[in-house]
Amino acid sequence: MSCDSQWKVLVLFILGTFSVAVVWYLRAEPYMPGPYMIAEDDSVMCSQGDVEKKALLMIENYTRNHPAFLQMSDFFWEKNLSAYQLPYGTQGSEEILLKVLALTMRYDMPDSIQNLPCWRCVVVGNGHRLKNSSLGDVINKYDIVMRLNNAPVHKYEHDVGNKTTMRLFYPESADFDPNLQNNPDSLMVLVPFKTPDVQWLKAVLNNEKRSRKGFWKSPPLIWDVKPENVRILNPYFMEVTASKLLNVSIKSPRKHKEKPTTGLLAITFALHLCDVVHIAGFGYPETTNNKQTIHYYEQITLKSMADSDHNVSHEAQAIRRLLEARIIRNLTHF
C-alpha cells in the first residue's frame, strides 16, 4: 500500500471511531448527567408543548384537563363525585375536604406561576446522588422547582439550590420549621393519603385541637404556613401514577398495598403541567446494598423503607421508560 493510501485508511479509521463514539454517546445520553439544551444565558431552553406531545404517546388517556389542586366546586355536582377513596380519589372524604378548602380559599395556580411564558420544571428527589453534585445554581434557574417532603435546602444550597416553587408533602413528612426550608411564596401542596391527613391540615390552619390518631409518625402540631400558600393536590395524579405508570390496582388499595412514592407522583404531576421536565436526585441503591445512605441530608439506608409499601425497582423501570422516550431528562445519573 502506498504512503498516500495508508494516510487515507488512517483518516477513515479515526473518522469512523469518532462517529461510533458520538452515536454511542447520544444513545446513552438519557442516563448521563450533563448540560441539557442550555441557552446562552445558561438557562434551560424552552420547548413548548414538548412534554405534552411525547406524553400523549406514552401515557394511556393522557390529558391536561384536570385541575392541579382540589377546589370546592369539585364537590358541588353529584356527577363529579369520585369513584375512589384516598389516596386515589376523594370518595368518603368530601365533607372534611370541603371544610378545609373553605379555610384556605385558594385552589388556583398563583399568577407568578400561571403567567410564566414557559414552564421549565425540575423535580428534585431526595436521593444521595445530589450530595456534592454542585447542582444548586443549575436547579435555581428552572421556572418551577418542585421539592419533596422535609428535604432541606438550608446548608445544602450548593448542591440543591434554594428556590422552591412547590413542595409536595403529607403530615408525617411536613417540616417542623417550614419557613427555614422554603421561600415566602412557596406553595405547600398536601398530598392526601388518608382522611386524617386532611383533618390535620384543618386543625393546624384553624388552630383547633390536634390529634395524633391515625398517623404512622407524629406530624407537627404547630405548622407556621400562610393558608394562602397551601393547596391540596388533586388525587387524580396519584391515580394516574399508580394505574398508568406503575400498573398497580387502585380499586382495592388495602389488598394491593404497593403505592407510588411522592417522587414518582411529583414527576407525573409535572408531566401534566410543564413544558420541560427534568429530574435530579432520583435513584435508589441496589436492594442488596444495606450500607449506602439514601438521602443527601441524613444517614439512613434502604432498611428504613422496609414498611413503606413502595416498589423501588418497579418505579425505576417507570422512570427509565420516561428517560428513554426522552419525555424527561436527568441532571444526575440513574
Ligand X SMILES: CC(=O)N[C@H]1[C@H]([C@H](O)[C@H](O)CO)O[C@](OP(=O)(O)OC[C@H]2O[C@@H](n3ccc(N)nc3=O)[C@H](O)[C@@H]2O)(C(=O)O)C[C@@H]1O
Residues that bind ligand X (CB under 6 A): 125-128, 148-150, 172-173, 261-264, 282-284, 294-295, 304-305, 308, 310
110 or 285: whose CB is closer to ligand X? 285
- Contacts from 15-23 at CB under 8 Å and sequence distance 24+? none
- Rounded Cα–Cα distance for residues 27 and 30 (Å): 8
In the bound state, the residue with its beta carbon closest to ligand X is 263
**Partner that binds at residue 268, options ligand LG5KNAUE, ligand X, none, CB closer than 5 to 8 Å by kind:** none
Shortest gap between Cβ of 239 and ligand LG5KNAUE (angstroms)? 14
Place of cell 418505579: 315
Window 190-219: contact mask with ligand LG5KNAUE (x via CB under 6 A):
---x----------------------x---
Q: Which residues pair with 330 in a beta bridge?
A: 279
Indicate the Cα dihedral angle 44, 50, 51, 52, nearest 10°.
Answer: 150
Q: Residues 104, 133, 150, 262: which binds ligand LG5KNAUE (CB under 6 A)?
A: 262
Find cell 392541579 and name the residue.
68
Residue from 170, 237, 282, 296 that binds ligand LG5KNAUE (CB under 6 A)? 170
Q: How far is the CB of 138 from ligand LG5KNAUE (least distance, A)?
A: 27
**Residue number with the shortest CB distance to ligand LG5KNAUE?**
308
Nearest Cα residue to 190 out of 74, 106, 250:
106
Residue 241 binds ligand LG5KNAUE, judged by CB under 6 A: no
Q: Does 304 bind ligand LG5KNAUE (CB under 6 A)?
A: no
In the numeric block, the cell 405547600 is attached to 188
326 in helix, strand or coil? Answer: coil
Cα-to-chain-centroid distance, residue 162: 16
Give SS3 for 271: helix
Choosing among ligand LG5KNAUE, ligand X, none, which partner's interface includes residue 208 (Cβ < 5 to 8 Å by kind)?
none
